[in-house]
Amino acid sequence: MKIVIATGIYPPESGGPATYTQSLALALRARGNEVTVVTYGEKDEKSSQFPVLSAQSDKRDVWKVSRRSGFVVRYLRYAWRVFLIARHADLVYLQGAVSEGLPGTIGAWLAGKPTIMRVPGDYAWEMAMQRSQKSIKSKVHKVELLDEFVTRRHKGSIRILEAIERWTARRARHLIVPSKFLRSIVQAWGVPEDRISIIYSTVQPLPPVPSRDELRRSFGVSDSHVVLTVVRSVPWKGVDVLIDALCDLPDNFRLVVAGNGPVLAEWKQIASDRHLESRVTFLGRVDRTELAKWYFAADVFALNSGYEGFPHVVVEAVTTGLPCLVSDKGGNPETKELFPEFITIVPYRDTNAWRSAMNQTRARLAPVVLDNMSFDKMVEGVLEILHKAVKVS
């Protein structure tokens, strides 16, 4: 097949979506497909440390559309580039519903080619939450969770974003989501269930680390019961509840928080107000090697979040044999279906329930091997959907 991948971010820019898109493009090319990527970026960006899609290609593999113009001009340029390439392609694979979804859909429509769309989340909700963080900060009781947000329409620019993502999703021949929860969100956009497929995103193996006993000694937690959580510091992640739950637990219980974000200082203040500074450790942003060490050193993993498309940190935790406590929101409960012996579901923001769950010590289990979430399985699932779309055309 000749495939156009329309994405908002691509190496040398960093981030999970950039790495995912490049890995997918390389894998599709390795399987005999012709792949061209359209992304935002500047032509003068250095990318020599990143592999091109094909060393023997006499064509341009990656086309960049500058972000330096206003969004209208930027989107028009993006749509035009997709149109020019899609004329000679079989389909356009969109990596989101708005910034690449709107111009990519327009370009594909002008070229008369179908689109497939991957939906990793609700962009309108994400923008609404960014605004709410600036105005309400730590008042988490006012945060509108995604499953509530999607049931009503909003005003202003958020309503425009909602209209865009619904329009691009409905025009796509098929949609790919990483969880049943996100499938329900896309259905709320007006897309029939039979046009939505769940393909779990791949989870890369963690780097090797020293023995658990050695790690616990090096971290100074040999005699502690370590509760680990890995989150971005935003209000709906519920770390304030985990801190409160720690208050009435034995003194050897210790909470370790990995991740950075806008409300980290407020969580630190809560720990200080509860006189728990010595029992709550804030790691900030850590690399995968350091995070792997904590997965192996911890006694239990906790994720008290109000939204997760699909919690890959939980999957990483079970690959180390770590039992997990997860909230009953978003894609979290689906981990119970995949790893029933590892997962305990706890009501979101119920402090007493989290205190009780954290106090019920469970032994670590044998690490899980992720055959159903391997990179090859993910690529083959995507390819099957793309082939079907081309055959229908």
Q: What is the pLDDT of residues 228-287, one digit of tens each?
A: 999 999 889 999 999 999 999 999 999 999 999 889 999 999 999 999 999 999 999 999
In the chain, domain spans: 2-202+374-392, 212-371
Q: Is the peptide bond before 12 cis (omega within 30 degrees of 0)?
A: yes
CA 111 to chain CA centroid, nearest Å = 31
Compute the C-alpha angle 65/89/82, nearest 5°: 20
Beta bridge mates, 326: 303, 345
* 129 in Cβ contact with 143 (< 8 Å): yes
Q: What does 124-181 look like in DSSP terms, one character per residue?
A: HHHHHHHHHHHHHTT-GGG---HHHHTTS---HHHHHHHHHHHHHHHHSSEEEESSHH
Token pair for residue 238? Answer: 């519920």
Pairing type for strands 91-94 and 2-6 reads parallel
2-202+374-392 CATH choice from 2.60.120.560, 3.40.50.300, 2.40.50.140, 3.40.50.2000: 3.40.50.2000
Q: Which residue has the higher pLDDT, 60 or 155?
A: 155
Mean pLDDT across the chain: 91
CA distance 294 to 50: 30
> For residue 44, what pLDDT band results from cuts at 50, 70 and 90?
low
Instruction: Give the pLDDT confidence of 325-341 residue by residue, as tens digits.
Output: 999 999 999 999 999 99
Q: Is the pLDDT of residue 50 over 50?
A: no
> For residue 138, what pLDDT band results from cuts at 50, 70 and 90?
very low
CA distance 318 to 239: 20
Q: List the one residue out of 239, 234, 235, 263 whose CA is nearest residue 140.
A: 235
Angle between helices 71-86 and 101-111 (to 10 degrees): 40
Pairing type for strands 343-346 and 196-198 reads unpaired
Q: Find tokens 């709906």 and name the residue.
A: 236
CA distance 295 to 318: 9
CA distance 98 to 8: 9
Q: Is the pLDDT of residue 49 over 50?
A: no
Residue 308, pLDDT score: 93
Q: Is the pLDDT of residue 197 over 60?
A: yes
CA distance 94 to 100: 7
CA distance 273 to 37: 50
Beta bridge mates, 327: 346
* 2 in Cβ contact with 33 (< 8 Å): yes
Question: Does the domain made of 212-371 have the CATH classification 3.40.50.300?
Answer: no
Q: In CATH terms, are 2-202+374-392 and 212-371 the same topology?
A: yes
Number of CB atoms found within 10 A of residue 128's CB: 20
Residue 133, pLDDT score: 67
Contacts of 137 by beta carbon, 8 Å cutoff, 6+ apart:
235, 262, 263, 266
Q: List the one residue out of 87, 125, 81 whose CA is nearest residue 100.
A: 81
CA distance 200 to 371: 11
* 290 in Cβ contact with 316 (< 8 Å): no
Q: What's the pTM value of the predicted model, to 2 decimals?
A: 0.88
Token pair for residue 335? Answer: 């981990």
Number of CB atoms found within 10 A of residue 363's CB: 7
Range 222-233 average pLDDT: 95
CA distance 7 to 93: 9
* 90 in Cβ contact with 1 (< 8 Å): yes
Helix (H, G, I), strand (E, B) or coil at 388: helix
Helices and strands, counts by H and E, the chain: 15, 13
Q: Is the pLDDT of residue 211 over 90?
A: yes
